[in-house]
Amino acid sequence: MITLHELGIRNAITKGNTLALNVESATQAMLIALADDIVRDVKENMTSGTWVDSKGNSKQGHISSGELLNSTGIIEQGHDFVTIGSTSNHAGFHEFGTSKIQAHPIFQPIISSKAGRFTDILIQGYEDIAR
């Protein structure tokens, strides 16, 4: 006969083993989900975000064509990383500016605001696996 205590220990071991086996795939899935969330917000910011040009005029949206928007996304993903960016040649000019054009960051503010959420997403994912 198995006592409740022994059953609890067996369940904890089983959950621990499940967690250990699934952590790697869960971490990658959560990383990709966070990257998708960032890309979605970056694209939204490109089309509707406001910024001020070098003459002090308020502008709506960062893009004048769909090329920058269409070139933005997950550029590369590997075993434990995801690279978010743009393949557009002029994306860097928007993000960092030039000697003649003020920077209008598209990626950095959103990535900074979302990066802290990664820990929360991991904890939630691990709790879901352990259940």
Q: Which two tokens stand for residue 38?
A: 């960032």
- Whether the pLDDT of residue 21 is over 60: the answer is no
pTM, to two decimals: 0.68
**Which of 37, 108, 46 shows the shortest CA–CA distance to 74?**
37
Q: What's the pLDDT score for residue 5?
A: 47
Q: Between 4-48 and 108-115, two packed helices, what is the crossing angle to 10 degrees? A: 160
Taking the chain, what is the end-to-end CA distance rounded to the nearest angstrom? Answer: 25
Give mean pLDDT, residues 72-100.
Answer: 87
The helix (run of H) or strand (run of E) holding residue 63 is none
Give mean pLDDT, residues 13-31.
Answer: 63
Domain regions of the chain by residue span: 4-130
Instruction: Answer whether 62's CB lies under 8 Å from 51's CB.
Output: yes
> Where residue 73 falls among pLDDT bands split at 50, 70, 90?
very high
